[in-house]
Amino acid sequence: MEQNQPGFSAAPRADNDNRKSQSGPPIVSTDHTAPAPTTLRKRWNALQLSKATIVWLCLATIAGTMIVGFTWGGWTTAATAQRTATTVANDAVVQRLSAICVAQFQQDTAKDTKLVELQAATSYQQGSYVREQGWATMPGDEQSDSKVAAACARTLAQLTVE
């Protein structure tokens, strides 16, 4: 004779019934050794990152990209681009004005003797000599520019006496 206990019946139960039963295999496995993934691919597929880890990885990737971009990638800030553009523009103006300086030298009546004196001077003194002669003073200006005088002196120093 089978004895019925309160809350238990002999009828089969559903799979999701969580009441304690007296018979049957234990619900929790007593085997605590989980098989460790052996290959890198299995470990990679089993990896599950938290949201915080993903956010930190994204921020690290952004920072790394910016470091590489600004150091080796040729990226520049607006201020650096502006400084570079100003420098290039000033150099272009000096180059064009030095050609006018050479043309003013060519109009000088005593250019041959002055060219010999210019070439005899040191490179530091050549720019001052060109300024003193007035060749680096552009039409409409009262003073000459030192950068124009230096560029003009470099060009005139390469000329030969005719």
State the pLDDT at residue 1. 45
Are 98 and 158 spatial neighbours (Cβ–Cβ below 8 Å)? no
Residue 60 lies in a domain: no
With pLDDT > 90 as the criterion, what percentage of the chain qualifies? 56
Residue 31 lies in a domain: no
Number of domains in the chain: 1
Residue 33 lies in a domain: no
Residue 100 lies in a domain: yes
Helices (H), the chain: 40-46, 51-71, 78-106, 111-120, 123-133, 146-157
Q: What is the pTM of this model?
A: 0.57
Residue 27 lies in a domain: no
Which is higher by pLDDT, 5 or 68?
Answer: 68
Domain ranges, residue 146: 87-157
State the pLDDT at residue 154. 92
State the pLDDT at residue 32. 65
Mean pLDDT of 51-60: 96
Residue 37 lies in a domain: no
Which is higher by pLDDT, 19 or 22?
Answer: 19
Q: Is 100 helix (H, G, I), strand (E, B) or coil?
A: helix
Residue 146 lies in a domain: yes
State the pLDDT at residue 10. 67
pLDDT in tens, 78-132: 999 999 999 999 999 999 999 999 999 999 999 889 999 999 999 889 999 999 9
Residue 67 lies in a domain: no
